[in-house]
Amino acid sequence: MEKYIKNFFLSGFKSHDYHILMQQFLPLTLRGFLAPGLQMVVMRVSKVFRRICNKVWNPSEIDLVRIDVAISLTLVKMHFPPSFFDIMMHLLYHLVDESDLCGLVSTRWMYPMERYMKTFKTYVRNMVRPKGSMVEGYIQNECLGFITKYLQRFEVV
């Protein structure tokens, strides 16, 4: 029975998967289950994250996004207990300032590095020295790629 219940939990996702769940699917799935006030709070917070993580950033809209974040956090404080709030809820306001200073979020996030680390983990053969195995595997992969490209130059068609 427990193995069937385990399949219904959200686990084993990468951080990017949770990010997409929070931005896109959470507001849709909770639509029929929550009270209208809570539903609006979740939708507003998801909308703020979508605006911050857009692939196109319009610097002239920064003040509107700041106002939207302030209203969203105020609504969250109205509908959720004080124990819900930690540093992560406050971080939302600073993400807008960071986007204003640094530009697009998509150029700075670590999701591609997480995926590349999965490739590095497949190179590990010696569990005593995993970093050395990763380096050796990376060097072998780079050398094979270089040799393949080099030999393709001399291939007669």
Alpha-carbon gap, residue 16 to 20, rounded angstroms: 6
Tell me the C-alpha to C-alpha distance, in Å, between residue 144 and each of 25, 48, 134, 147, 148.
Answer: 41, 45, 15, 5, 6
Write the pLDDT tens digit of every residue in 75-132: 988 888 888 877 777 888 888 888 888 888 878 877 778 888 888 888 898 889 889 9
Residue reference for tokens 């917070």: 45
Per-domain residue ranges of the chain: 2-107, 119-153
pLDDT at residue 58, rounded to an integer = 82
pLDDT at residue 144, rounded to an integer = 93
Residue 63 has pLDDT above 80, yes or no: yes
pLDDT at residue 90, rounded to an integer = 80
Whether the model pTM is above 0.85: no
